Structure 1
Amino acid sequence: MSNDQESTDALRQELRTGETIHVDAHGWGLTWAVRDDGQLAQVGLGPNGHTAQVEVPLAFYPLAYRTWGSADPFREAALRVTHADGTLTTRLRAQALTRTALPDGEHLKIECRDELFDFNVEHNFRTHHDSGIIEQWVEIEHGESGPVLLHDYDSACQLLLAAPEAELIQFGGSGWADEWRWTTEGLHPGIRTLSSLGGVQPHLQRAPMLMLCPDGPSHEDSGTTIGMSIAWGGNTRFRVDVRPKPEPGSPSEVVLTAGANPYGAEYLLEPGQRFVTPTVAWIWSDGRSAMTDAFHSWTRARVLRDPEQSRAIVANNWEATFFDFDEDRIKGLIKQSAELDAEVFLLDDGWFGSEHPRNDDEQGLGDWEINTNKLPNGLDSLAETAEQAGIRFGIWVEPEMVNQRSRLYDDHPDWVVRDGHDPALHRNQLYLDPLLSEVTDFESNVIDQTLASAPSTSYVKWDANRPITDPGSGALPRDRQSNLFVDGVHRTWDVMRRVAEAHPSVDLMLCASGGGRSDHGTLRYFHEFWTSDNTDPVTRIRMQWACLHFFPASAVAAHVTRWGERPLGFACAVALSARFGIDLDLTSLTDGESDVLRASVEMAKRTRDLVQFGKLTRLISPTDGTDGSRAALAFIRDSDAVVFRYQIDSPTSDSAPLPQMDCFDPGLSYRVHRTELNDTVRSRDEGLHGGGGVADMVQSWPLTEALSADILEIRADGPLLRN
């Protein structure tokens, strides 16, 4: 999935018994070796894994990639296949290794072949020395007498030893509005499966990331931390298979696998067809901070569109109007947003549908012509109003979905995903079949034509508000309907790629009922994503804390709303620590709230160079530890910093002091500006301080009331003048 251009100087060598393969990710990595029987063994993993030497006979090392029928019969396999003749066993033999140089790393391809069948598996590793991330995936192709059935097809399979105190951190919640729930658990004997379903919006259920701490609890600056992300826009699965040793206190053997979730998604693979598993991006680091630095660097360099571009302040009308608006109402909100100095006005759901007007969620979806009863002068008139007011115009679309009460469904009922049953409705809508070329052409044309109707539009929010049910595609034979779950992701990505390439100057936000598509694979075609529909700032502190472990703040959209009925200033302070935006009825603000919001917009502009491009430093966690009543984090860039401090609940006796920040140069003076955001805004210049004084100021905790926050803007002012 990387954007690296590969060198043409690829070096290919045949693999022989005893040969080792070192995957070097700049300070860590892994080593595989060829056993006497031709199978690949994992010899090393970790800081010394990329230089590991074979110290005992290779037969004693674990298989690097377990296949069904050929490995430990008491462990689940990474690859499970029914071959064309019905054989269940797959036994792979290493054939060759190809190394290709990259600008900052290399691409390794390890070719394997079954000992009986023309069945070929290629292990791929792409290393990035700038970030330390390894991308890993598998490609499968065969020349058997008929199709083979892939039951399990993991992208990565690693074995490691875990201490009794080892921890697993995962991010699964109850679904909508509960994304990114932080859960820490121990490793216990048996198989722990962390999976997601839903097809279109699986990450509502569980983010496709985890952290594994095999030596015991990790901290920001210490403790072995394995961070892993499945870059896949469909269902995902981690399996953590823990086998204890009989000696008390001994480390357990852990097999960690990651990839697409094959539940209900067995794949029938034709001869000559190539199957590519999702990319898994992962790193072995010392401490959580180093893991985050790696994922932020890699996401900016290899994933995000226009990573060097500052993200705009977006004002959305949804919380203000829902479906109930007309042209005058929207133009008024555009002008008010511009007066607040927001930079994009986003018109959300409800602007389309003529025969079936989109006045609620029961009709109109799929009919992407203007609702002239609401907007008699079309989108272009709104975009012109925005341009005159000095603000950009954006639009909401949901091209993958359709209501039954729509002209599109009347004309093309065969375009929806369904089997022989009457299709079940979710949010009163159905999912268009992404395997039909006429559907994918329609979907890309929806955005092309919408943008053409208002050519100055420069922002699009792409939403998807239902999962896959009744899985069936008219493009697939009856015996391979389950291929939909894999092929559908690739075809949807094709549409997204077409849109991104056709509109390079349009910013794209990714949304799926909130954070249902929070993955590094889909994000390649977008600038940012909607973290969750839950915008209660108390919940969002914890969500964003988790999310920012893997994504830079520039990609994490955070809007100020009325959710939770918290003080507006507190909500602003939380949103300011990510990509700041507004989703409020601006006509209902009091004078004091207008002042708070205006000050927050000004602060977002002053600090986004730090928030969006700086190094994240976590100070006080709201998700783990003894004190969940507070949170604090900072963003540091060059010699400048911004620090966010939140008092979520009433202070407790367990409140510990903030850790000392060592990023401030004792030889420099810093100008410090402190802003308190609560029911009102109080801002003052704290003057010039040396590096030590600034560190002490950050470490002190002035907040004493629940739902209060302050922000310290710290800018280097020059050499410290001494008497």
Structure 2
Amino acid sequence: MPIQFDPIQQCFHLRNQTMSYIIGIEKEAYLTHRYWGEKLPTYHGSNALQMVDRGFATNPFPEERTFSLNALPLETSTQGNGDHRVANYQIRNSKNHTVTNFLYDSYQIKKGKEAIPGLPSLRATTDDAETLEIVLKDTIQQLEMRLIYTLFENYPMITRRVVYTNNGSQTVALENAGSMLLDLSDCEFDFLTLDGSHTNEANLNRQKIRPGIQKIESTRGTSSPQHQPFLALVEPTTSEFQGSVYAFHFVYSGNFIAQVELEQYGTTRVQMGIHPDHFEWQLAPNTHFYTPEVVLNYSNAGFNGLSQTFHQVYQQHLIAPTWQKEARPILLNTWEGNYFDLSEEKLIAQAKKAASLGIELFVLDDGWFGKRNHDDSSLGDWFVNQEKLPHGIEGLAKEVHRLGMKFGLWFEPEMVSKQSDLFKAHPDWALQVPNYPLTEGRRQLVLDLSQPAVQDYLIAVLGDHLATGQIDYIKWDMNRHLTEVGNLFFNTPQQKEISHRYVLGLYRILETLTTQYPHCLFENCSSGGGRFDPGMMYYMPQTWTSDNSDALCRSVIQYGYSYLYPPIMMGAHVSSAPNHQVGRLTPLETRGWMAMSGNFGYELDFETLSPEELAEVQQQIAFYQKHRQLFQFGQFYRLQAPDAYFASAWLFTNEEEAIAIYFNGLSRPAMPTKYLKMRYLDPAATYLDLATNEAFSGAELNQAGVLIPRVKRDFHTQVFHWKKQ
């Protein structure tokens, strides 16, 4: 897996068994992007750069009118001296000038991959990866920029980030600190994103790129449910099963921008990083600024090929090693079954029922602390409500453990209620701007995690609960976006640092707690998918995918998220019917298969179910326990995207078995005859259908497919289960 520098060609070749990425050096000064795609055994510059004398072009070398930075395919932008396209950085000096001149200086190739101070990133050893650092310098201001590329040995994937360094004597303002930029010498792409809203996350959006700039972004303080910090450039003919995809995913949980510019001469520029709006960083002499990491993933096998890489890399190189091979328990969450109506007697009765059905983790959600009987009070007061739980959390947890289950607890640590002891004691701990009113959301304010004192407080409070040894799981919620992003702690020039410092503070808290308590399973939640991003997944190996648990809606939401995340990372629960979010009635069987297609659990009151429904729940749990390895650690493939009737299909497979699930969505008249092709089974193997005892070759199931019978009812599920012979 060498990274090589060719001094004759003046290029770097990052190459493994599946992919090549090539960077050129022009005029011993400027980094150009030359190639990214399928592995090349060698590179000798057959795709030569076109040098043309163009009108309106500026020329760093006056005698060479064919050489212009505005037409070169670059690996990073320039600032104020000829490249007028989307920029990856901007620096303002003490005289308010914003011109810089970063030129190539040197490089270094290292084994392995370094962690980023204060930030999450993919994990790798000296056997997994190799890293290229390219140093650019502005000698006039004594500034340095290090472009850092890590190539993974076994995947068509690299990561990119930047380190900005001030070696001068004056503080400069880093106004834009992008993590990566590259120019692809092609314009025939579609632009793919995952967009949506609260309870309607991860909708696929595919459109042809057009001249100008197309972008997704968040300035909400989090990565947001509106846009996943992800984009892909896709060949027009690419499908789930074939074609090329160039994907970019940002390992960060705050404000971001991800944009594509189709420029005048047919180059497509991609740029990704912290959103420059509401951002600035005072870069003092002899200090560094580390940008978050971007994951670049190439597939020549369509979207399923892309997803296989994301799934494997995130499971093996993103989440904590403790959880990479650890099976997840089947849980019952109390929220939709109880809301704020809690009592120890009621909870113990629910726990006993859950244990009898085979539930493995009992999670106490909101309402257990302070005076929390509604959502207008008590956030921040993380002490037990003795009226509801006279024996405390520890007493309830011991009873749950006695029943043979693990115990989990809900927190929303980043929030504070005005009606709370914490806010009365520390009103300055909320995000705020002097003289302006505090904007509430869900009757709550946001704690200012940029302040070390607030970080230390949350570490201590949650640490006290975890230190009892009674808590096996924490659901970490975050239920609003940031407003009045300012504080009384930092000085005036640093006020635009606070959004990023908030994220750094959050990461410090999570790093401390997950390191001290590595065997506590943390689940990330932000009203569902409001902060479902790789940055959070670094600390928490699973996320509550959406507050919308309706099976039909989830077929779209989970389908979209599966482009990036494996099912084990997506919390999915069987909830009540009618569904609490959309009022839809769906069969318990369908709700079960949809939830089993993620990280399986329940969110309802078992006491309200009929004996027949309880028996079905018990069967679902037993089936999932028996086939947990397939659902949580097998390969997951999408076979049919949700159509106009919300029909969709996917496949789980491993070396022992395979399960294909077809959701028919809404019933339709005159339904065409349909055969579902498996496509990804072992063609040389024989598969025994466990329902009919018939045997078929993998090749036949892949190519001829199976008949989808016509069923005249909505929300029916057809399941095919094969044992590999």
Aligned partner of 1:269 in structure 2 is: 283
Q: Show structure 1 runs of 4+ deviating over 6 A.
A: 10-13, 15-18
Q: 1:294 to 1:385 in 2, by over 3 A?
A: same
Cross-structure match for 1:632: 649
For residues 356-390 of structure 1, the C-alpha deviation after alignment (integer angstroms, 9 at most, x for no partner) is x0111111111111100111110122112211211
**Cα distance in 2, alignment partners of residues 456 and 581 from structure 1:** 21
Q: Deviations over 1:582-623 (max 9, x none)?
A: 001211112232232222212221222112111112111116
Residue 25 of structure 2: aligned partner? 34
Q: Which residue of 2 aligns with 1:682?
A: none
Deviations 1:171-191 (A, max 9, x none): 111x32121122111111110
Shift of 1:396: 0.5
Map of 2:488 onto structure 1: 474
Question: Residue in 1 aligned with 2:54?
Answer: none
SS in 2 for 1:206: coil
User: Closer, same or farther in 2 for the Cα pair 1:125/1:611, shift >3 Å?
Assistant: same
Partner-residue secondary structure (3-state), 1:565: coil
In structure 1, the partner of 2:455 is 440
Paired position in structure 2 for 1:137: 161
Please point out which of 240, 243, 268 is paired with 2:260. 240
Question: In 1, Cα distance between the equivalents of 2:661 and 2:438?
Answer: 48
Aligned residue for 1:290, secondary structure, equals: helix
CA 590–698 in structure 1, closer or farther in 2 if over 3 Å, else same? farther
Residue of structure 2 equivalent to 1:289: 304
What's the offset of the Cα at 1:221?
Answer: 2.6
Instruction: Give the corresponding residue for 2:439.
Output: 424
Residue in structure 2 matched with residue 94 of structure 1 by the alignment? 104
Contact map agreement 2:329 2:360 (CA 8 A) in 1: yes
CA distance in 2 between partners of 1:340 and 1:696 (Å): 40
Q: Name the aligned partner's letter for residue 125 of structure 1.
A: Y
Does residue 300 (structure 1) correspond to residue 315 (structure 2)? The answer is yes
1:336 equivalent among 353, 363, 366:
353
Match of 1:114 in 2: 138
Change (3 A) 1:667 1:523: closer
Structure 2 equivalent of residue 66 of structure 1: 77
Q: SS of 2:467's equivalent?
A: helix
In structure 2, the residue matched to 1:508 is 522
Q: Deviations over 1:254-280 (max 9, x none)?
A: 111112212211222222221111110
Q: Which amino acid aligns with 2:347?
A: I
Structure 1 pair 698–659 and aligned structure 2 pair: CA distance change class (3 A)? closer
- Between the aligned partners of 2:475 and 2:671, the Cα distance in structure 1 is 43
Distance 2:684 2:169 in 1: 74
**Once the 2 structures are TM-superposed, how far is the Cα of residue 309 of structure 1 from its aligned partner?**
0.7
Assess, with a 3 A threshold, how the Cα gap between structure 1 residues 227 and 608 changes in structure 2: closer, same or farther.
Answer: farther
Q: What SS does the corresponding residue of 1:634 show, helix, strand or coil?
A: strand
Query: In structure 1, the residue corresponding to 2:441 is in which secondary structure?
Result: coil
Within the candidate set 172, 183, 192, 1:169 is matched to: 192
Does structure 1 conserve the Cα–Cα contact (< 8 Å) formed by 2:74 and 2:182?
A: no
Which consecutive residues of structure 1, in runs of 5 or more, have no partner in the other structure?
1-6, 246-251, 674-684, 719-723
Matched residue SS, 1:493: helix
Which of 509, 523, 548 is matched with 2:537 structurally?
523
Question: In 2, Cα distance between the equivalents of 1:662 and 1:655?
Answer: 21
Counterpart for residue 680 of structure 1: none
Structure 1 contact 136–156 (Cα < 8 Å) conserved: yes
Aligned counterpart in structure 1 of residue 179 of structure 2, from 142, 155, 169: 155
1:203 is aligned to 2:224: yes
| TM-score, length basis structure 2 | 0.89
Matched, 1:492 2:512: no
Residues 647, 703 of structure 1: 8 Å contact kept: no
Q: Would the aligned equivalents of 2:28 and 2:104 in 1 still touch at CA under 8 Å?
A: no
The one-character-per-residue Cα deviations of 1:451-471 (angstroms, maximum 9, x if unpaired) are: 234x23211111111211101
Query: Which aligned pairs between 1:213-232 and structure 2 lie closer than 5 A?
Result: 213=234, 215-232=235-252
Residue equivalent to 2:666: 649
Matched, 1:375 2:389: yes
Q: Secondary structure at the match of 1:386?
A: helix
Contact 1:176 1:204 in 2 (8 A): yes
Could you tell me whether the CA contact under 8 Å between 2:143 and 2:165 is conserved in 1?
A: yes
Indicate how the Cα distance of structure 1 residues 231 and 694 shifts in structure 2: closer, same or farther if over 3 A, else same: same
Query: Which amino acid in structure 2 is aligned with residue 714 of structure 1?
Result: W
Contact 1:615 1:636 in 2 (8 A): yes
Q: Distance in 1 between matches of 2:460 and 2:11?
A: 51
- Structure 2 distance, partners of 1:652, 1:18, is 63
CA distance in 2, matches of 1:154, 1:51: 31
Partner of 1:575, secondary structure, is: helix
Determine the C-alpha separation between the residues in 2 that align with 1:323 and 1:432. Answer: 23
- Alpha carbons of 1:61 and 1:559: their partners in 2 closer, same or farther (altered >3 Å)? same
- Describe the superposition over 1:233-259 as per-residue Cα deviations: whole angstroms up to 9, x where unpaired: 1112111101355xxxxxx32111112
* Identical columns (%): 25
d(CA) in 2 for partners of 1:545, 1:51: 38
Q: Distance in 2 between matches of 1:237 and 1:473?
A: 24
How many Å apart are 1:17 and its aligned residue?
9.7
1:105-154, CA deviations, whole angstroms, 9 ceiling, x for partnerless residues?
Answer: 30111111114211110001111122222111011011333322222222
TM-fit CA distance, 1:35: 1.6
SS in 2 for 1:292: helix
Please give the secondary structure, in 2, of the residue aligned with 1:700.
strand
Alignment of 1:613 with 2:633, yes or no, is yes
Separation of aligned partners in 1, 2:104 and 2:228: 34
Q: Over residues 304-362 of structure 1, what are the superposed CA-to-partner deviations in whole Å (9 max), with x where a residue is unaligned?
A: 23111111111000001101111111111111111121110000011011xxx011111
Q: By how many angstroms is 1:527 displaced? A: 1.9
Contact 2:73–2:267 (CA under 8 A) maintained in structure 1: no
The DSSP-based 3-state class of the residue aligned with 2:534 is: coil
Task: Report the AA paired with residue 304 of structure 1.
Answer: I
User: Could you tell which deviates more after superposition, 141-150 or 569-578?
Assistant: 141-150
CA separation in 2, counterparts of 1:51 and 1:210?
Answer: 29
**In the alignment, what sits opposite 2:62?**
none
Deviations 1:18-47 (A, max 9, x none): 621122254223222222161212222222
1:528-578: per-residue Cα shift (whole Å, max 9, x none)?
011111111111111101111111111111011132332222111111111
Question: Counterpart of 1:118 in structure 2: which amino acid?
Answer: Q
RMSD of aligned Cα (Å)? 2.4
Where 1:387 maps in the other structure, the secondary structure is helix
Secondary structure of 2:627's aligned partner: helix
Structure 1 residue 386 corresponds to structure 2 residue 400: yes
Which residue does the alignment assign to 2:689? 672
Task: Give the Cα separation in 1 of the matches to 2:703 and 2:715.
Answer: 23
SS at match of 1:98: strand
Instruction: Tell me, yes or no, if the aligned pair for 2:679 and 2:703 is still in contact at 8 Å.
Output: no
Cα deviation 1:193-233 (Å, max 9, x = unaligned): 2101211x4321211122220x3131123111112210101
CA distance in 2, matches of 1:703, 1:621: 19
Give CA deviations for 1:616-639 in whole Å, capped at 9, x if unaligned.
Answer: 12111116xxx5431110111114
- Which residue does 2:368 correspond to in 1? 351
- Choose 97-106 or 492-501, whichever is displaced more: 97-106
For the structure 1 residues 170 and 367, does the alpha-carbon distance in structure 2 shift closer, same or farther, using more than 3 Å as the test?
Answer: same
Aligned to 2:333: 316
SS at match of 2:721: strand
Q: Secondary structure at the match of 1:559?
A: strand
Letter in 2 for 1:283: N
Partner of 2:121: none
1:656 Cα deviation from its structure 2 partner: 7.0
* Contact 2:187 2:267 (C-alpha < 8 Å) held by counterparts: no
- Asked whether 1:711 is paired with 2:719, we answer yes
* Matches of 1:28 and 1:241, distance apart in 2: 24
CA distance in 1, matches of 2:503, 2:131: 24
SS of equivalent residue, structure 2 residue 201:
coil
